[in-house]
Structure 1
Amino acid sequence: MSKKTPVTRENPDYQPRATSSRSAYVLIGVGVAVIALIVGGLVWNANKEYPDVEDAVLAENAAFIVGERTAPITVDVFEDFTCPHCREFEEQSGHALSAAAQAGELRVRYHLLTFMDDQSPSDSYSSRGAGAVLCAARHDDRQVFTRLHAALFAQAPGPDSNGDLTNAQMAELAGTVGADQQTRDCIAEGALVSQAQEMGRTSQQQLYNSNKGRVATPTVLVAGEPVSGILDGDGWVATLIAGGTGK
């Protein structure tokens, strides 16, 4: 009868023992703390109060206003020249907004934000575009502003672009849509870029308040409240004019 070969341990002094539950308790405690922080943050955000949107601030910091003061409805349009959805919005609704303003049905206040600068190849397309249309607003008429506004969106850099328009190229573009020499010089020099940035930041704060802490472009406000469906074509403009809220 053969003898059984004894089992040899690598560590003969090893004594098996139950795993301590202390580590598990620590991990559970950390998990509970993280969950508590998340829930607490959500509750805090839900209960946070935001100031009302100030119409006077929006009026003062609009880059350009199209339409008569007597128009029955005032809309605030928030855009960023580097925002691809804003380009889509301009293509879909730009003409409808301009036509409604010209017909006296709407008063449109354009707010050019600059928070997407760093997503453009030059890190400044939003700001320089805002400065360019501000030059047009100060030195030219509504038609020049409208055409330049649309042209800057049409020329906006896409996500895979290697470059975007220089100030000189923006000035040249302004000339093709009828801008006078004073406007072109203003754009080429970047004379109103800093002012456009400051106006954009002030308008952005009002948008932040209206959306309860969220900033997104494009956004349209009527009486300080967001309008829905603005990227579903231009039907929202007709709905608004016909007496619907569009909300």
Structure 2
Amino acid sequence: MSSKNQKAAEARAKAQAQVRAQERRTTLMIIAGSVAGLAIFAAVVIFIVNQGKVPELGSDGATSPVASDSTGGIPVGTSGVVGVDVPTDAVRVDIYLDYMCPICGVFEDTNAADIDEMREAGDIQVYYHPISILDRYSNGTNYSTRSAAAAGVVANDAPEAFLDFSNALFANQPAENTDGLSDDEIEQIALDAGVPADVAGSLVNDDFKKWATAATQQASVDGMQGTPTVRISATGSFDDGLILNADSSSPSVDYFTDGNLKAYIESLG
């Protein structure tokens, strides 16, 4: 087995183990560890906000992609273009991802084709949430923030290329505890994904970095505990959504097994 395939297999096994652990929750250690991890994450976010370093999502200084909503979600419609032909009467699927997260890469490999099929058929409305919680794994280069911000720029200025660019970031995903991709490498990936040259040359944008941080803060407020996080609303309203595998009372779906997420969504119809 190649090194890349071995890493993918290891990440898939880790992801499936995490879902099983969430389903079982048979020991206080698991529960305590989860609560402690969430508390630490929340405390860090609150500290940053209190220091005035994180503008509120949608405020001046945190430029949002024009089609994004108040949750920070970037909608992609039936045509594959951000903000175009997004159904309002379909199941809503919110996907929270970090481009540095290897398990997010496994999630994409497992579910992207099914999500695209349902989205193109108008059976679901899909909102992508690029966030940045793994900057600490890129040796000080803040790759999670840089890549999320770049995705925001593409969603805003080249909405037809957002999905291809997002997919390409996962296809070229750097390993944790490396420097991540350089700004020049991200620009080249954007060009290869069909992003116009003028947009690809403007991906380094401080306002969109602030947006990525603000969107991460909003995600935590909305219940995101890590990546990937999947929130499903059968009614199509974000407020009615439930986060899968969040706790013992949440819908339990092993979305690291082919077809499981699609089957769950179809069961809501």
Q: TM-score, normalised by structure 1?
A: 0.66
What is the deviation of 1:242?
Answer: 4.1
Residue matched to 2:256: 231
Residue matched to 2:213: 197
Q: Which of the numbers 104, 107, 110 marks the counterpart of 1:86?
A: 104
Is the 8 Å Cα contact of residues 98 and 134 (structure 2) preserved in structure 1? yes
Residue matched to 1:64: 74
- Partners of 2:212 and 2:177 in 1: how far apart? 26
Q: Which of the numbers 179, 185, 196 marks the counterpart of 2:195?
A: 179
- Partners of 1:74 and 1:112 in 2: how far apart? 17
Percentage identity across aligned positions?
Answer: 22
Give the direction of change, closer, same or farther, for the CA distance of 1:113–1:234 in structure 2 (3 Å limit): farther
- Partners of 2:264 and 2:169 in 1: how far apart? 28
Aligned pairs for 1:40-189 (under 5 A) are 59-67=69-77, 68-142=86-160, 144-159=161-176, 161=178, 163-189=179-205
Residue matched to 2:230: 220
Amino acid at match of 1:89: F
Amino acid at match of 2:72: A
- Partners of 2:197 and 2:210 in 1: how far apart? 21
What is the deviation of 1:127?
Answer: 0.6
Residue matched to 1:14: none
Q: TM-score, normalised by structure 2?
A: 0.61
Is the 8 Å Cα contact of residues 146 and 204 (structure 2) preserved in structure 1? no
Q: Which runs of 5+ in 2 are unaligned?
A: 1-27, 36-57, 59-67, 78-85, 234-240, 245-252
| Per-residue Cα deviation, 1:167-197 (whole angstroms, up to 9, x for no partner) | 2221111010100133212214555222122
DSSP 3-state at the match of 2:128: strand
DSSP 3-state at the match of 1:175: helix
What is the deviation of 1:152?
Answer: 1.0
Cα RMSD between the aligned structures?
A: 2.7
Greater gyration radius: 1
Q: Which runs of 5+ in 1 are unaligned?
A: 1-37, 46-56, 209-214
What is the deviation of 1:81?
Answer: 1.2
Is the 8 Å Cα contact of residues 171 and 188 (structure 1) preserved in structure 2? no
- Partners of 1:201 and 1:108 in 2: how far apart? 20
Give the direction of change, closer, same or farther, for the CA distance of 1:166–1:189 in structure 2 (3 Å limit): farther
